[in-house]
Structure 1
Amino acid sequence: MLPPPGTPGTDLPVRTALPALTDALAAAGSAVLVAPPGTGKTTLVPLALAGTVPGRVLVAEPRRVAARAAARRMAGLLGEAVGSRVGYSVRGESRRSAATRVEVVTTGLLVRRLQADPELPGVDAVLLDECHERHLDTDLALAFGLDVRGALRPDLRLLAMSATAQADRLAALLGNGAPAPVVRAPGALHDVDVVWAPPPTAVDPPHGLRVDPRLLAHVAATVRRALAERDGDVLVFLPGAGEIGTVTGQLGGIDADVLPLHGRLPAAAQDAALRPGPRRRVVLATALAESSLTVPGVRVVVDAGLSRAPRADLSRGLGSLVTVRASRASVTQRAGRAGREAPGAVYRCWTAAEQDRLPAHEEPEVATADLTAFALELACWGAPGGHGLGLPDAPPAAALLVADQTLRALGAVDGDGRATSRGRALTAVGVHPRLARALLDGAPLVGSRRAAEVVALLSADVASRGDDLTATWRHLRSGADRGASARWREEVARLERATGDAAPPGLPDDTAAGLVVGLAHPERLARRRPGTSGTYLMAAGTGAELAPGTALTGAPWLAVAVADRSPGRRDARVRSAVAIDEATALEAGGALHEERDEVAWRDGDVRSSHVERLGAIVLAERPSGEPDPAAVASAVAEGLRREGLGLLRWTPAARRLRERLAAARSGLGAPWPAVDDDALLTAIDVSGARSRADLARVDVVAALRGLVPWQVSGELDAVVPDSVTVPTGSRIRIDYTDPDVPTLSVRVQEVFGWSHAPRVAGRPLRLQLLSPAQRPVATTADLAGFWTTGYPAVRSELRGRYPRHPWPEDPATAVATKRATSRARSRD
């Protein structure tokens, strides 16, 4: 199918690698192709392979816009319309026919097809494009494809294509015992000049979704500079649709057409950005234009150096996109778009020094994203947790655990983690399992159409109108934004087909939307905190707050669709929600609604009550009868863990004993007991306490002595004595404040006659030696060594200052004293 050499648009660098690639696939069945952006791998390789196999070639792209663009490009090279020998299928749209030999699909759609029929009848080759981007669907498609080749279809040819040089791991995965062959295509033919164009003044680093407006203004200024200094169209990389809108507004009056390119746009607008225009163009794009898309006419790239990446807050059940610095691999790909058709230039809005500090590669999504849908796909494949599959990276255990808990709550997996019939029904919907649950369970409550409309709003990348989800829903239904409405309605129609025909009850829009959102995220049902107008407690136990001035202010309850928490903040910020009432919250969150007797440590003491809850939200509470003693003991132990050992009455004797035991443990180890906070919280018996007051009555001295094993209990005073008798007969208390170094503070004259310090806790006692005025003059645990090397200097310095006190030359044999001589004798 590959057009002959010389056909316009086909003489691209990858063409020279095609013979080696087809030979490698024919011999090994799998291979890795490394080809930089702009070399033609996405369009020429599928056409070449289609000429070597009798069946269809499936090409998987990570994004819908790339799938459509690749199909159009290949069809154009053949001089045909899309849908003939080259077609495409994306979610909600398909253009293919019986004549189609090359079909471009999204990786998500490929996963759906593999789940429906792993043998992929009629398909002889699968090409996974842009494997380096490491999206979850790409990892799944690769792992499932390898499994199919190994167990069902050894004849299926599998090719992983990447724009970066990280090929060894892919080759090891694809190989059968030995690594799969790696074929490398030469890079683009044209040079790209690098222009370092940092902002003139310092800008704030990205934080959450926020990008410093000063950086966006600088990007716009850099675009104007590039238009003045260079020829050709300009491709601008920005992190998201919001930033694209901001910069678009700042480019008013330039002599060029300004075109956005991002995932929220309808297909027609995306396609328009990929066609040459009648005059010069500035295309403002997100990362989707990095590698698998060719924007014709581009000679200049302006790069803000930022990307959006998913982050999951596992402890709070929140997930969001955050703005991060792009990696070196990513910005290299972006720069390459300027050299696709001719020599070009890239204006980087940072310094060469900052370039060196960029991460080498992006983190794979599996390391940072919510894995609920990923885990359900694995379960439906028959490989819970990915066991036995060739995944590029093992999923993080904590994220998999949270995903499994969510799936169990949805009834999607059984006790062994295997998919149930409900789980298969949820994954067949083609949206996140939570949204699929909301669609299937919400349709009988609000009607199929309205359930599909709300779920389409939650699943589609549609620009919201503030945080009031119902307002955004009504705006889309009005059709005022034709592009967004058209794309949303396509998704609504697809989802509605999955629900059957449920009659619409006569519910208000807010109630209907709240039910659907609450079914999707029952843990985010939230009640306003007393005495506030904009702060809430969600059923999961996380606080949430509304933005100032929102129309949702004062709502008693919210069904929160989107919330995220910035680093360092305690509460989450509500991004999208529906105002609801308590009855709606209870209906949507029925599984979290319960009444029970609770004994817990609250407000500084044990509280026993009968509580009605919606998750962490207390709906009603009244005193209960006689509580279960075991529950009381558990609450007391929890209070002690939460508030610490200060709840006990630490008398001076108790503190002293704890210090002595700590020194014994430090010097001799077991069986002397550990008495640090963690150890005591576990070891001290407070089972008889039923309240805070009871804890204050615990005999801590007896409790500590009870921790000492009987084998050594009689040795306590010998091993760690409370005090020591020095040569003068004085008994001086040992300081155990530092358990590693018990210390005795004593005047030098009182230890004359000691050749060695006594041993305490298995080691020589450290002596803090004092002058007659009780001031430290030396500290030693080696008294014999001090008498020889340290004492002479002390004697020389102090005997003139304290002439009435003895300063013998040989203190180890001198008589100790605690008195000074009389003045008369000192004169004699």
Structure 2
Amino acid sequence: MTLLDRLRRAGDLPVAGGLARLAAALDAGGTAVVQAPPGSGKTTLVPPAVADGVADGGRVVVTQPRRIAARAAAARLAHLLGEPVGATVGYAVRGERRVSDRTRVEFVTAGLLVRRLQSSPDLPGVAAVVLDEVHERSLDADLALALTLDVRGALRDDLRVVAMSATVEAERFGALLGGPVVDVPGALHLVKVRYAPLPPGARALDERGVTRALLDHVSATARQALAAHGDVLVFVPGAREVDEVARRLSGSGVAAVRLHGRLPAAEQDAALRPAADGAPRVVVSTAVAETSLTVPGVRAVVDAGLSREPRHDHRRGLGGLVTVTASRAAADQRAGRAGREAPGAAYRCWGEAEHAHRPAHPTPEIAAADLTGLALELAAWGDPDGSGLALPDPPPGAAFAAARGVLHDLGAVDDDGRVTTRGRALAAVPTDPRLARALLDGAPLVGARRAAEVVALLADDRRPRETDLTAALRAARRDGGAWRREVRRLEALVERGGAHDLPDDLAAGAVVALAHPERVARSRGGGRFVMVGGTGAVLPAGDPLAEVEWLAVADVDRRPGDAEARVRVAAPLTAELALDAASARLIETDDVRWRDGRVRARRVRRLGAVELASTPVSDPAPALVAAAVRDAVAADGVGVLPWPPAARALRTRLAFLHEAIGDPWPDVSDVALADVERWLVVGSRGPRPDDVLAGLRGLLPWPEAAHLDELAPERITVPSGRSVAVDYEAVDAGGQPVLAVKLQECFGWTGTPRLAGGRVPLLLHLLSPAGRPAAVTADLASFWASGYAAVRAELRGRYPKHPWPDDPTTAPPRRGTTRSGR
């Protein structure tokens, strides 16, 4: 008898109508995509149908997005078969496995399947892989899909692969798998959607997170739904919100049951069973109940409309979860929970008009999360950039490069991105590679138990209330719970033993520093620190940790506009522990700067951006000096160079010719000269004034340079016989070269002198005998004809002893009075 024959009680599930098409697709090509609405029975019927279609009793491995879903799916299917879990149907999750030699269908998390693929790529004994809820687009789910397809293509062409979801982009995944889409319309029962938006003026989120107003509104809506429909399933984004809503409901006499991933398995299982007395209840859950779970008795869903999605958490340097608006796909999945057993209702705590503006699907984790773990998995697989794998989306370039940089610092990959022996050891620890490093290297230093304790704290998304991590560690030891279970799991991964002479505070600091060497920090006084990564950080006012010299920062954030980050959680360090943890950042360099016209050089020993010691250097390398000059010019402009008067004058003349004639006369603007390596030779003492003049002369074009004095003369001899300097400074502002000369010295000039081969007339500033401006003209002939008479009348009254002829074009030029004869 086939498994489906034994499941006749579930034969009326809508997905049953597509099983024949699925079997035909798998027989023909080995791959298929199943798309069916929530509540249609995909998780219940597809795995046994696939198992019935494989020969030799091979096992079907089914991935689930979460441990609770894997356990619940196995329990439900085993119950329908009338068997205990671990017989025909079993499961394997982190820290727990219930299977036997008889097991035909095994539910696992996507992360566990990745671990198996990495250790045994040919998947011995596995005939098919069913990837459930692929729409969630976690890194583990994407990677499990890509690696499974790679195995099918390279090692196991007999391996059957099925991807399924209610909201999957079916055609896209069909193209990835190379198989048809089996679309099964219809849900088991009708679910009526009702919108229950917040009161006017209330917000769901603010800068502190989920608002009290939303939690109150969700609680009130849950009580309303309970009165109208019976058992209610409430969706809120996180464990804290679960506790808050459950407390509100319990306080008003409602039987409230909590459900989230941090609860012990016994409490999770209890939430998935009807109340013993049959009394109505409200199950308050995170997204763990969004897919692949049936919460018995539920006739209504209340959706807060928020999700926790993975993002790269710069505050902690790890992949983190942030609260965002839930997608329409997530809302549909949640609503479907109300129609599993009978017609139901879904209450959405937002407006109908707002719903259309929500994102269609959750953001794929690969597009927004920290990719360090993914990069390590790809390197361990032998495809460091993932280009040979059928990932639904390629990793973003900048984020992936940063992730590979972290792995290189950890010694996990070589310069080409290939995994090292160290990298394989880190990859064998099922946690973020940074935390894996802290666990493996911290255990010999502080003991396996304390290393596991601190790593478990760092891996927890909940922020400790205390700044001092040691206080948070002591509090966790008192109330244990999920943290204590995680400690046991981590401790089992490393050898026991290690040093025990460090006190708890330094042990915690040592492990944090191993996880985040870039956040090792040294005091600058007054509770202010500088971290190895270069960011300044400050402790809360009055914090006792302000007195320590070295700090390991576990949690830090920085508000936009703030000059420094704020330390949220940290532990003290010694200088020795800081150097050991961040040894990869220990460097000795010559720090050469060009300031105030001088080279200032020091030999500096640094731990990243933290300066440890320095000594003066008398003979810095010329290349470093040149780089220092280049940096100074880039920061403050070419004015920082020592410009002698001759160089300034030459530059203004060249600027004039470049403007007036163009090529081949060079551009000597600030922008052009900022590329100092193009024109300036810098010695070990930095640029001297003669160097600047020589460099500028080196820009002169040959043979045209021979005509420089003709085209842009430094001085002009005026009719009085005096040589007057031409001022080219105004050219930079779009003006003309200026010749400032006494008006009387120009008698006899009939036309304005012209420069640049006759292209540009001089702008004559005609001065009184006292040297004050009397007139400005670029057309001397016109001035003599029409402007001179008025100027003459004014000046002859003020300077009667000076000659003021009627016809200045024929009068002899003068420098002084009539009596002087000059």
Q: TM over 0.5, yes or no?
A: yes
Distance 1:114 1:704, change over 3 A: same
**Whole-angstrom CA distance in 2 between matches of 1:326 and 1:514:** 37
For 1:253, the equivalent position in structure 2 comes to 251
Deviation readout 1:332-373 (Å, 9 max, x if unpaired):
323333333333333333333433332232221112222121
Comparing 233-242 with 103-112, greater Cα deviation is found at 233-242
For 2:210, the equivalent position in structure 1 comes to 211
Letter in 2 for 1:632: V
Letter in 1 for 2:572: A
Aligned residue among 49, 57, 70 for 1:67: 70
**Whole-angstrom CA distance in 1 between matches of 2:272 and 2:576:** 50
Q: Alignment partner of 2:497: what SS? A: coil
**Whole-angstrom CA distance in 1 between matches of 2:562 and 2:546:** 20
Letter in 1 for 2:538: E
For 1:545, the equivalent position in structure 2 comes to 538
Letter in 2 for 1:519: L
| Contact preservation (8 Å) 1:264, 1:461 | no
Deviation readout 1:95-119 (Å, 9 max, x if unpaired):
1111111111111110110011111
Deviation at 1:328, TM superposition (A): 2.6
Deviation at 1:125, TM superposition (A): 0.5
For 2:682, the equivalent position in structure 1 comes to 688
**Whole-angstrom CA distance in 2 between matches of 1:334 and 1:711:** 81
Deviation readout 1:665-699 (Å, 9 max, x if unpaired):
899688854846376245564553778xx779588
| Contact preservation (8 Å) 1:241, 1:286 | yes
| Contact preservation (8 Å) 1:305, 1:348 | yes
Q: Structure 1 stretches of 5 or more lacking a match? A: 724-730, 746-758, 766-813, 823-828
**Whole-angstrom CA distance in 1 between matches of 2:158 and 2:660:** 67
Comparing 650-659 with 162-171, greater Cα deviation is found at 650-659
For 1:727, the equivalent position in structure 2 comes to none
For 2:565, the equivalent position in structure 1 comes to 572
Superposed, 1:468-487 pairs within 5 Å as: 468-478=468-478, 480-481=479-480, 484=481, 487=482
**Whole-angstrom CA distance in 2 between matches of 1:258 and 1:374:** 38
**Whole-angstrom CA distance in 2 between matches of 1:300 and 1:405:** 48
Comparing 215-224 with 387-396, greater Cα deviation is found at 215-224
Comparing 17-26 with 192-201, greater Cα deviation is found at 192-201
Q: Alignment partner of 1:385: what SS? A: coil
**Whole-angstrom CA distance in 2 between matches of 1:566 and 1:738:** 42
**Whole-angstrom CA distance in 1 between matches of 2:297 and 2:595:** 67
Aligned residue among 656, 677, 681 for 2:671: 677
For 1:493, the equivalent position in structure 2 comes to 488
**Whole-angstrom CA distance in 1 between matches of 2:164 and 2:595:** 58
For 2:459, the equivalent position in structure 1 comes to 459
Deviation readout 1:384-440 (Å, 9 max, x if unpaired):
111311111111222222222222222222233221222112111222222222222
Deviation at 1:145, TM superposition (A): 0.6
For 1:20, the equivalent position in structure 2 comes to 21
Aligned residue among 616, 621, 624 for 2:614: 621
**Whole-angstrom CA distance in 1 between matches of 2:255 and 2:660:** 75
**Whole-angstrom CA distance in 1 between matches of 2:596 and 2:344:** 67
| Contact preservation (8 Å) 1:664, 1:761 | no
| Contact preservation (8 Å) 1:318, 1:564 | no
**Whole-angstrom CA distance in 1 between matches of 2:361 and 2:113:** 25
Q: Alignment partner of 2:369: what SS? A: coil
For 2:447, the equivalent position in structure 1 comes to 447
**Whole-angstrom CA distance in 1 between matches of 2:403 and 2:629:** 33
**Whole-angstrom CA distance in 1 between matches of 2:653 and 2:320:** 49
**Whole-angstrom CA distance in 2 between matches of 1:334 and 1:604:** 69
Letter in 2 for 1:37: P
Distance 1:744 1:634, change over 3 A: closer
For 1:117, the equivalent position in structure 2 comes to 120
Deviation readout 1:433-486 (Å, 9 max, x if unpaired):
2222222222222222322332233335566343433223223333x24xx2xx
For 2:159, the equivalent position in structure 1 comes to 156
For 2:415, the equivalent position in structure 1 comes to 415
**Whole-angstrom CA distance in 2 between matches of 1:467 and 1:439:** 22
Question: Does residue 633 of structure 2 align to residue 637 of structure 1?
Answer: no
Deviation at 1:204, TM superposition (A): 7.6
| Contact preservation (8 Å) 1:664, 1:720 | no
Aligned residue among 491, 509, 516 for 1:521: 516
Letter in 1 for 2:496: D
**Whole-angstrom CA distance in 1 between matches of 2:175 and 2:453:** 44
- In the alignment of these two chains, the number of paired residues is 749
**Whole-angstrom CA distance in 2 between matches of 1:15 and 1:720:** 93
Deviation at 1:718, TM superposition (A): 10
| Contact preservation (8 Å) 1:197, 1:347 | no
Letter in 1 for 2:453: E
**Whole-angstrom CA distance in 2 between matches of 1:31 and 1:238:** 33
Distance 1:296 1:545, change over 3 A: farther
For 1:34, the equivalent position in structure 2 comes to 35
Question: Does residue 273 of structure 2 align to residue 270 of structure 1?
Answer: no
**Whole-angstrom CA distance in 2 between matches of 1:313 and 1:607:** 39
Letter in 2 for 1:87: G
Distance 1:618 1:375, change over 3 A: same
Letter in 2 for 1:626: D
**Whole-angstrom CA distance in 1 between matches of 2:369 and 2:50:** 34
**Whole-angstrom CA distance in 1 between matches of 2:451 and 2:403:** 24
Deviation readout 1:103-151 (Å, 9 max, x if unpaired):
1111111011001111111100101111111111111111111111111
**Whole-angstrom CA distance in 1 between matches of 2:598 and 2:335:** 63
For 2:775, the equivalent position in structure 1 comes to none
Deviation at 1:517, TM superposition (A): 1.8
For 2:769, the equivalent position in structure 1 comes to none
For 1:808, the equivalent position in structure 2 comes to none
Q: Structure 2 stretches of 5 or more lacking a match? A: 716-725, 739-753, 761-781, 791-822
For 2:242, the equivalent position in structure 1 comes to 244
Distance 1:348 1:197, change over 3 A: same
TM-score (norm 2): 0.80
Comparing 557-566 with 508-517, greater Cα deviation is found at 557-566
Deviation at 1:153, TM superposition (A): 0.5
**Whole-angstrom CA distance in 1 between matches of 2:185 and 2:301:** 21
For 2:219, the equivalent position in structure 1 comes to 220
Letter in 2 for 1:680: A
For 2:500, the equivalent position in structure 1 comes to 505
Distance 1:261 1:679, change over 3 A: farther
**Whole-angstrom CA distance in 2 between matches of 1:603 and 1:66:** 67
Deviation at 1:716, TM superposition (A): 8.2
Letter in 2 for 1:35: A
**Whole-angstrom CA distance in 2 between matches of 1:142 and 1:156:** 13
| Contact preservation (8 Å) 2:449, 2:487 | yes
Q: Alignment partner of 2:300: what SS? A: strand
Deviation at 1:160, TM superposition (A): 1.0
**Whole-angstrom CA distance in 2 between matches of 1:221 and 1:601:** 67
Distance 1:697 1:732, change over 3 A: closer
Q: Alignment partner of 1:386: what SS? A: coil
**Whole-angstrom CA distance in 2 between matches of 1:11 and 1:467:** 56
Q: Alignment partner of 2:787: what SS? A: coil
**Whole-angstrom CA distance in 1 between matches of 2:636 and 2:99:** 67
**Whole-angstrom CA distance in 2 between matches of 1:204 and 1:714:** 77
| Contact preservation (8 Å) 1:659, 1:737 | no
**Whole-angstrom CA distance in 2 between matches of 1:96 and 1:311:** 35
Deviation at 1:225, TM superposition (A): 4.3
Deviation at 1:288, TM superposition (A): 3.0
| Contact preservation (8 Å) 2:622, 2:683 | no
For 2:231, the equivalent position in structure 1 comes to 233
Letter in 2 for 1:80: E
For 2:640, the equivalent position in structure 1 comes to 647
**Whole-angstrom CA distance in 1 between matches of 2:635 and 2:356:** 45
Deviation at 1:604, TM superposition (A): 11
Q: Alignment partner of 1:416: what SS? A: coil
Aligned residue among 567, 573, 583 for 2:576: 583
**Whole-angstrom CA distance in 1 between matches of 2:653 and 2:404:** 46
| Contact preservation (8 Å) 1:518, 1:559 | yes
For 1:81, the equivalent position in structure 2 comes to 84
| Contact preservation (8 Å) 1:10, 1:77 | no
Letter in 1 for 2:94: R
For 2:764, the equivalent position in structure 1 comes to none
Superposed, 1:309-348 pairs within 5 Å as: 309-312=309-312, 320-348=320-348
**Whole-angstrom CA distance in 1 between matches of 2:263 and 2:576:** 37
For 1:784, the equivalent position in structure 2 comes to none
**Whole-angstrom CA distance in 1 between matches of 2:627 and 2:199:** 59
